[in-house]
Amino acid sequence: MELIDGKALANTIKDELSETVLQLKEAGKKVPHLAAVLVGEDPASQAYVRNKVRSCERVGFESTLIRRPADISQEALLEIVDQLNKDDEIDGFIVQLPLPDHINEHVVTLAIDPKKDVDGFHPVNFGRMAQGMSSYIPATPYGILQMLDRMNIQTEGKEVVVVGRSNIVGTPISILLSRKAKLGNATVTLCHSRTNNLKEHTLRADIIIAAIGRADFVTADMVKEGVVIIDVGINRVEDAGRKRGYRLVGDVDFDGVAPKASYITPVPGGVGQLTVVALLLNTLKAANKEVFG
């Protein structure tokens, strides 16, 4: 069993990005600039956005954080999106989700210029991705692709079972891995909460991508020997032994499954580490105008 060290992979890619920034500066070119809009005080969202800004600093990107209170109107938020769309200084931006209930997330996502949509959430980017055109790939699927690539894990001809069909992880990664492309060409089964006989599917899998958001959902009896496990879950479980009262676990029962796996990602320290890196890679693509030309 080999542990996939997300932190080490992320640091390698961040070092590469730092080098790219130095080269851009030496050539007198503009440094990539990411903006993030954070609405309200949700602690998890604050932590994610802080991490995004800090990661920009680490690699030498410019970053701008726009914070607004939870009672901002949808119109006022759309005005900010419009300004960011028009601002030539900003290469790409994100509006951190979830948004307060009175704001329609779809309306906000649709208002973002697809050329600056480094989250890859706009339907134009999703559609381009599904058709094999160049696009911004959402951070978690892109992070998984980076992980598979850098660990030299082959996907061609492999049986991949994705557990969970969210718009930001399960559905896009199932499309990406089945595309006729490098890091694709797999036979993908997309399982979800209504799948009958889930175990019949997972037992066939060469690679399992667990993204269903339930602690320790994939257990040892559900996987075959030599399986590759990519665990996207980040679940809090009560733990009185910890100062903060909980610990983080994935969607996979790590201790049970690890002895059967050829590769497995830990939680924390696995896929999560690559998601911010993926956002930085998309921001670099935005600055280079690589996606839309």
Residues that bind ligand GUN (CB under 6 A): 94-97, 119, 139
d(C-alpha 271, C-alpha 230), whole Å: 7
> Cα dihedral sign for 93, 120, 112, 86?
positive
Q: How far is the CB of 174 from ligand GUN (least distance, A)?
A: 18
Asked whether the beta carbons of 278 and 142 are under 8 A apart, the reply is: yes
Q: Is 259 exposed, middle or buried (0-12, 13-18, 19+ CB in 10 A)?
A: exposed
Comparing CB distances to ligand GUN, the nearer of 41 and 239 is 41
- Among this protein's residues, is 224 annotated catalytic? no
Residue 271, SS3 per DSSP: helix
Comparing CB distances to ligand GUN, the nearer of 37 and 59 is 37
Q: How far is the CB of 171 from ligand GUN (least distance, A)?
A: 14
- Among this protein's residues, is 96 annotated catalytic? yes
Comparing CB distances to ligand GUN, the nearer of 51 and 195 is 51
Q: DSSP secondary-structure letter at 152?
A: T
d(C-alpha 244, C-alpha 237), whole Å: 11
Asked whether the beta carbons of 271 and 144 are under 8 A apart, the reply is: yes
Comparing CB distances to ligand GUN, the nearer of 94 and 176 is 94
Position of tokens 């134009």? 124
Q: Which residues of 11-25 are buried (b: 16+ CB within 10 A; e: fewer)?
A: eebbeebeebbeebe
Q: How far is the CB of 49 from ligand GUN (least distance, A)?
A: 9
Given 14, 52, 115, 116, the catalytic residue? 52
> Cα dihedral sign for 213, 219, 225, 226?
positive
- Among this protein's residues, is 87 annotated catalytic? no
206: which residues sit within 8 A by CB, 6+ positions away?
158, 159, 160, 226, 227, 228
Q: How far is the CB of 10 from ligand GUN (least distance, A)?
A: 15
Comparing CB distances to ligand GUN, the nearer of 139 and 291 is 139
d(C-alpha 152, C-alpha 1), whole Å: 15
Comparing CB distances to ligand GUN, the nearer of 97 and 258 is 97
Given 14, 91, 115, 119, the catalytic residue? 119
Given 14, 91, 96, 273, the catalytic residue? 96
Q: Which residues pair with 208 in a beta bridge?
A: 161, 229
By beta-carbon distance, which residue lies closest to ligand GUN? 97
Q: How far is the CB of 83 from ligand GUN (least distance, A)?
A: 17
d(C-alpha 96, C-alpha 105), whole Å: 10
Q: How far is the CB of 34 from ligand GUN (least distance, A)?
A: 11
In the chain the first and final C-alpha atoms are separated, in Å, by: 42
Q: Which residues pair with 37 in a beta bridge?
A: 66, 95
List, by residue number, the catalytic residues: 52, 96, 119
